[in-house]
Amino acid sequence: MIEKHTANVPDFVALRNEFPVTRSWIYLDVANKGPLPNCAQEAIQDFLREINEFGVREAFSKTRVEEVRSSLAWLLGVAPQTIAFIKNTSEGLNIAAQAVDLKAGDNVVQADVDHPNQVYAWKRLEGRGVELRWVRNREGRLPTDTFIELMDERTRVVAVSYVAFRNGCRVDLPALSAACRERGILLVVDAIQGIGVLAAQLPTLGADIVVCGGHKGLLGLPGTGFLYCREDLIPEMEPPFLARASVVPEAVSRLEVELAPDAHRFEIGNPNYLGLWVLGRSVEFLAEVGLEHIEERVRQLTTYLMELLEQRGKKVLTPYSWEERAGIVSVELPNSKKTVELLREKKIIASARDGTLRFSPHFYNTEEELERSVNLL
């Protein structure tokens, strides 16, 4: 079970020891893949030990799956029955796009800085006569009014990333969700660049559907993630597939279609048991550290990083105000792919994204690591 963290600020220097990758690398790429903490690696060994010593029964236990669901729901501030496990963010977005009853003439509002997989999930609906409308960013920012300007009586969905994957701009989800709610519009959010980095829990964000892979800020393995759906909205959602996992148990023997009344209706087949063992341990670890402490440490590191980059005359593309960003810092760099390769030779990991160099430090990093990295640019 999760134990709530203390109010004391964690010893982040000591916490570095929980991440083996920090012994050899300066890892500034959690926005790509989060490194596994010791507890997650131990979970892998425990999973294999369960199989070898006790057979598959316990390792593939649905009881363990439900324990992870409860732990994750606690971290997110929602009820377990509103959480479905998915393989990745892309799967979750596609489930959402197909589950909403959209008709010809309806429109979906999206942002021009979103990840291609956010776009593709909704783009296939154009074949059914659904219109996609595009919010144009304002110097890398996405103010709420840019979405409102595109809303009308046929707008059914606003689909947006909590934090943009390229330049790291953060959307004001409470304000946007209020605007959507006033107009009867569903807000669907790709939250993978925010969950595990920012402390806000899902109820304060106000989104109707939130999807998130488990392999970035949640410090899990690829192949895991969650879909959250507002509880009173679940009965209106028709999943795009059907299996015994998505119907009530008593209907299976009769081969009748009676969808589960909760988020289980969005699940199909066996989950990624190993991945969920790991995710469960990582979630407990994040809860013990405290999301508010993690957010504050990321704010400190990214602010310092932006200052270092500006001192060296680099053009930072990420908004400076903390309310408009999260854990990503992007700098304009035409030769970013070559720079990433050169940094890697120096045991520094970052990413190149469309002519930009993207850093995404996390709470295990240090100011000295940032200085060393920037000095190589």
Lookup result for tokens 């990333």: 161
Chain centre to alpha carbon of residue 351? 17
CA 64/CA 227 separation, integer angstroms: 18
pTM over 0.85, yes/no: yes
CA 177/CA 217 separation, integer angstroms: 23
Which parts of the chain sit beneath pLDDT 70?
1-7
Identify the CA nearest to 271 among candidates 253, 252, 248, 245: 245
Exposed/middle/buried for 11, CB within 10 Å: 0-12, 13-18, 19+? Answer: exposed
Tokens of 283: 């979630």
CA distances from 157 to 97, 152, 182, 185, 268 (A): 9, 11, 13, 5, 25
Report the pLDDT value the prediction gives residue 248, as an integer from 0 to 100: 86
Tokens of 228: 């959250």
CA 237/CA 28 separation, integer angstroms: 38
373 with 26: CB under 8 angstroms? yes
Coil, strand, or helix at residue 219? Answer: coil
- Domains of the chain, with CATH numbers? 12-30+290-374 (3.90.1150.10), 51-287 (3.40.640.10)
Report the pLDDT value the prediction gives residue 141, as an integer from 0 to 100: 92
Report the pLDDT value the prediction gives residue 1, as an integer from 0 to 100: 43
Question: Is residue 157 within a helix (H) or strand (E), and if so which, with residue range?
Answer: strand 155-161
Helix pair 367-374, 291-311: axis angle to 10 deg: 30
Give tens-digit pLDDT for 243-282: 888 888 877 777 788 898 999 999 998 999 999 999 999 9
Coil, strand, or helix at residue 227? Answer: strand
Question: Is residue 155 within a helix (H) or strand (E), and if so which, with residue range?
Answer: strand 155-161
CA 366/CA 369 separation, integer angstroms: 5
Report the pLDDT value the prediction gives residue 337, as an integer from 0 to 100: 94
